[in-house]
Amino acid sequence: MADVEDLEVSTRSSVLDELVKRSLADIAEEVSRLRQNNAQLEQHKQQLTIEKEHIEECLYETKSEVALLRKERDALKRTSLYFMVKTELPHEILLAIFRAIRAPRYQLDPSVTACQGSNSAWLAELRVRKALISVCKGWSGAARELFYEDIVLRRMGQIIALADMLAANRSAQRNLAVLVKSIRLDTCIVLGPCADAARDALSSILSLCVALRTVEYHTAEGFPTAPALHPGDAARGFNPSWFVDDGLEAFQLAFRERVSMLTVLDLAMPLSHKQVAHLHGLLSTASCLETLKLGPVQHVPGEGDHLDSLPALHLPKLEELYIPITDDRFIAYVSTTWAMPGLRRLTTLGNKSSIPHALLAAHGTRLVYLNLYPKWPNSIHPDKKDVQRVLELCPVVEHLVLCIP
């Protein structure tokens, strides 16, 4: 403390000594200069004070604006989350919407004869299903399921291509085979040299598509229907009868496994009694079948009676049946061997003018829809007694179709 006081006394003495040596005019001039500097500093201080106050006002306004922007940001986030929940619909809802926009199945005929040109209803609907996959990422999953659940094969090469694609996409994240619910082969001619490859590919498809519920097979007119062609005709095309031939063990094993879970089976192909007998064994496992459609049945001379002594066939869930009535032995077999307690709709097929009374007597008691097709020839009209007999055999029928000329 003493040292500080001594320093102050020494400094004061040095200042006094300096002033004593200077003239009064010099001192007065310096004092005037100091006063001017002081006035300038005071003025500068006032300007800085004004600027400070302005900056503080701007800062206050900025803070208020920032606070308002933060509130708006939070509100926008909440609004975005609200609309995000509403627009990102669940997969099941999207799939239901996509299925609802499809035309009824009866309006979408994929057959080659019905699809004349590129403007058919089926081709237009197919293009829409393909386009839905590319709309956005949120739609792709449901749209892809919609596209693959219903497949139509109209060329032999499509069978092999589909088998390769399903085999290549079997990972847990993207197993396309489990999406396939329906497969239809329509006028799909197989060339003789490629028959083995096409059959193996179709067998692979049946093995992979564990969720398959509908199988439809429509043959092409003008081509033979057989399991294979004779060596001399190997270069020709044919309609394969692999679905009902017992000599193809690997194919039949895969098809039998799928038949057990099918709800719709449509075999619009000519059938022999031997093939019907084989089909009998397949249908014995079809406990889920709801709709069955069969092509014309004819007896092959020298083939023997394969429909004799077959065990009873029970189809507990069958509701709709399309059946040919041109072969009397086949109708007798269906009338005596098949049990269809849930049958509600029956359509008869074939160029025969008589009414299948035996069939109606066996399975007509629960029918609500009966279509006796085709029409009678112009010279023949159904007798009133025949119609009355139909009504007696089908007491609860609500819709009766008779094609009378």
321 within a domain of the structure (yes/no): yes
10 falls within a domain: no
Whether residue 20 is contained in a domain is answered as no
CB 267 within 8 A of CB 293: yes
What's the order of all strands across the beta sheet hosting 399-402? 150-153, 182-186, 214-218, 264-268, 291-294, 320-324, 345-349, 369-372, 399-402
pLDDT of residue 84: 56
Report the number of distinct structural domains present in the chain. Answer: 2
Strands (E), 144-213: 150-153, 182-186, 190-191
The model's pTM is 0.75
Asked if residue 59 belongs to a domain, the reply is yes
Q: What is the bridge-based pairing of β-strands 399-402 and 369-372?
A: parallel
Q: Which two tokens stand for residue 19?
A: 């002033």
Q: Which two tokens stand for residue 141?
A: 């999953």
Tell me, what amino acid is at 65?
A: E
Q: Is residue 216 part of a domain?
A: no
Last residue of a domain, one of 53, 88, 123: 88
Q: Is residue 368, in this structure, part of any structural domain at all?
A: yes
Q: 37 lies in a domain?
A: no
| DSSP secondary structure code for residue 108 in this structure | -
Q: Structure tokens of 223?
A: 């081509």
The pLDDT, as a whole number, for residue 374 is: 65
The pLDDT of residue 5: 67
Give the CATH number of the domain where residue 369 resides.
Answer: 3.80.10
- Of 61, 88, 115, the one marking the end of a domain is 88
In a domain, 123, yes or no: no
Instruction: Enumerate residue ranges in the chain where pLDDT < 50.
Output: 379
Residue of 144, 250, 161, 267 lying closest to 207 (CA atoms): 250
Q: 319 is in which domain, residue-wise? A: 270-405
pLDDT at 342: 95
Q: Which of 20, 54, 88 is the last residue of a domain?
A: 88
pLDDT digits (tens, 9 = 90+) for 275-314: 999 999 999 999 999 999 999 998 888 777 888 889 999 9
Structure tokens at 252: 């039949």
